[in-house]
Amino acid sequence: MEQLWSPWRSKYIGSFKGKDKIEECFVCHAITHPAEDDDNLLVARFEHSIVMMNKYPYNNGHLLITPIEHKGTLAALSQECRAEIMEVINIATKVIDDVYRPQGYNVGLNAGAAAGAGLPDHLHFHIVPRWRGDTNFTAVVSDFKVINESMEESRDKLKQAFTKYEV
């Protein structure tokens, strides 16, 4: 069986060493500090959910869709929130199409720590744009991944593109 390695996530994973739990939920912090949206990489707000960039992206345009409520399971969310999140995922793929023109997507939810959730108590979906050949040797032999655009440039492009869509 082949394995997929993501050594660029070491910084993120290492940030939890010696901690039993995350002291502050970065999603809740972003939600409650709208004046810091740019610093928090938050690109869109909706009634029940937000869209933010992943601080440790697998590719340019890697987004997180998360409910405003601090809940760890789909069942804990209202039907309205679940429906909105699905529509926001749809909008997010359109936005990424507009900005990056990927050839495909990975859309995923890691529900619970055992499933790999780095933030198990605040549900979030990952939207990862993909291109043929987008993983290459540098991540394996050099312990880094090439992201061809700054986080700030990506944030500004995505934030602008979200203004064209409504839920």
Active-site residue list:
124
Give CA separation, 158 vs 80, 103, 123, in Å. Answer: 25, 17, 22
Q: Give CA–CA dist 65/42, Å, rounded.
A: 10
b/e per residue 135-164 (b: at least 16 CB within 10 A) = eeeebeeeeebebeeeeeebbebbbebbee
Residues in contact with 154: Cβ distance below 8 Å, sequence separation at least 6, in sequence order: 53, 60, 61
Which two structure tokens, joined as six digits, stand for 27? 């999603």
Nearest to 108 by CA among 129, 91, 84: 129
Q: Where do the H-state alpha helices sit in 54-121?
A: 79-100
